[in-house]
């Protein structure tokens, strides 16, 4: 029972990480209509900047600021110099351009930091576990990630639904042309939204540092899952991104944890492990296919 609870918490933790990435991606797609394959690179930039700052200064605060700032600045520069020229273009041109950006980012990071993954230690103050229930201990750091993710979700909810900027964002997601026609400086809004999305991606990256290895290509691994989340949730919908991320995080983690064990009861060990791992990896894609076949616009479509 405690094992199940632990895996559910792991799923939740993975889910909120996915949410941080998916929130930015879904806003950028919903408002600007841009397919940004390089969103994963911003995650990588955040992770590397924080890891580098932590190694240089040893200060957690500086590492956090460095990660967030680097991701936001790189993101806004990307918007200003490349994506701004592509808003009116075909999705395919955007795909090619942002793919080119992935190559550039990956190779620049390789040049700067080498091919070896960086390992980041958990900040000492957060190192350790606490006993949530009798027999269920859980690392504090992962609990903090969950807390930060949920806090960001709440903050975004308030920002989108309670502020003037949020009103423009919502309006932009549903009637882009109308917002422009009403005299809103849409270019400023675009850059701001892009910066916010990049900031969240950087936040996910810097928090992922101590859990996963910080390495080139980490962005692409998670990018595909983020797209799955965005599409399941409904493109352009923050609420969809939230529930989609939790769903994908939980399904993926739980399948990975328990499927090989279940299969082992009907097959031999090594085959069960291989097949179980394969089927578990297929799980979220099956989930996405089923969701799209039943609700082609995702669970919470933004443009209804």
Partner 1 sequence: MSEDAITHTGPNTPSASRALMLLALALCLVALPFLVQALGQPALVPLATRVLIYAIAAASLNLALGFGGMVSFGHAAFFGVGGYVVGILYRNYVDDSLFLGLIPGTSQLLITLPAAILVGGLLALLIGALSLRTSGVQFIMITLAFAQMLFFLFVSLKAYGGDDGMTIRRRNELFGLNTRDDITFYFICLAIAALVFLALWRIVGSRFGMVLAGIHQNERRMAAIGIAPYRYKLAAFVISGMGTGLAGALMANYLRFVSPDMLHWTKSGELMIMVILGGVGTLLGPLFGAAALVILETVLTSWTEHWQLILGPILLLVVLFTQGGLNGLFSRLGLGRSER
Q: Which residues bind partner 1 (CB under 8 A)?
A: 29, 35, 82, 85-86, 90-93, 95-97, 99-104, 106-108, 110-111, 220, 224, 227-228, 231, 235, 270-271, 274-279, 281-282, 285-286, 288-289, 292-293, 296-298
Helix/strand/coil (H/E/C) assignment for every residue in 264-298: HCCCCHHHHHHHHHHHHHHHHHHHHHHHHHHCCCC
The span from the CA of 283 to the CA of 279, in Å, is 6
Q: Please say which residue, 116 or 270, places its beta carbon nearer to partner 1.
A: 270
The answer to whether the beta carbons of residues 235 and 34 sit under 8 Å apart is no
The half-sphere exposure of 7 on its side-chain side, counting CA atoms within 13 A, is 13
The rounded Cα 216 to chain-centroid distance in angstroms is 16
Q: Please say which residue, 209 or 276, places its beta carbon nearer to partner 1.
A: 276
The span from the CA of 247 to the CA of 93, in Å, is 31
Q: Please say which residue, 58 or 261, places its beta carbon nearer to partner 1.
A: 261
CB 276 to partner 1: min, Å? 8
Query: DSSP character for 267?
Result: S
Residue whose pair of structure tokens reads 């399948």 in the numeric block = 255
CB 46 to partner 1: min, Å? 20
CB 204 to partner 1: min, Å? 20
CB 257 to partner 1: min, Å? 17
Q: Please say which residue, 205 or 276, places its beta carbon nearer to partner 1.
A: 276
Q: Please say which residue, 6 or 220, places its beta carbon nearer to partner 1.
A: 220
Q: Please say which residue, 166 or 301, places its beta carbon nearer to partner 1.
A: 301
CB 20 to partner 1: min, Å? 20
- Backbone CA torsion sign across 196, 233, 40, 280: positive
H or E stretch covering 77:
helix 60-81
CB 229 to partner 1: min, Å? 10
Three-state DSSP at 136 gives strand
Query: DSSP character for 31?
Result: I
């Amino acid at each position: 029972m405690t094992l199940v609870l632990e895996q559910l918490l792991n799923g939740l933790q993975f889910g909120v990480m996915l949410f941080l990435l998916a929130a930015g991606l879904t806003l950028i797609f919903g408002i600007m209509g841009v397919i940004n394959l390089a969103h994963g690179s911003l995650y990588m930039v955040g992770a590397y900047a924080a890891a580098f700052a932590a190694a240089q200064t040893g200060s957690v605060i500086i590492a956090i600021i460095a990660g967030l700032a680097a991701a936001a600045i790189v993101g806004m520069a990307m918007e200003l110099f490349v994506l701004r020229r592509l808003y009116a273009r075909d999705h395919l041109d955007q795909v090619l351009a942002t793919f080119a950006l992935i190559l550039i980012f990956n190779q620049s990071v390789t040049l700067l930091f080498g091919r070896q993954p960086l390992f980041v230690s958990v900040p000492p103050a957060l190192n350790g576990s606490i006993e949530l229930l009798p027999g269920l201990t859980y690392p504090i750091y992962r609990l903090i990630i969950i807390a930060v993710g949920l806090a960001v979700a709440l903050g975004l909810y308030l920002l989108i639904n309670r502020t003037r900027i949020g009103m423009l964002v919502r309006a932009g997601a549903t009637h882009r042309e109308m917002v422009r026609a009403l005299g809103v400086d849409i270019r400023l809004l675009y850059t701001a939204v892009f910066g916010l999305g990049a900031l969240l991606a950087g936040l996910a990256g810097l928090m992922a540092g101590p859990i996963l290895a910080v390495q080139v290509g980490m962005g692409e691994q998670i990018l595909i899952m983020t797209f799955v989340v965005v599409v399941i949730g409904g493109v352009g919908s923050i609420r969809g991104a939230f529930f989609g991320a939790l769903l994908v995080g939980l399904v993926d983690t739980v399948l990975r944890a328990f499927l090989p064990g279940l299969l082992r009861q009907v097959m031999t060990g090594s085959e069960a492990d291989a097949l179980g791992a394969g089927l578990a990896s297929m799980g979220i894609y099956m989930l996405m296919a089923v969701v799209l076949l039943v609700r082609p616009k995702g669970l919470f479509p933004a443009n209804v």
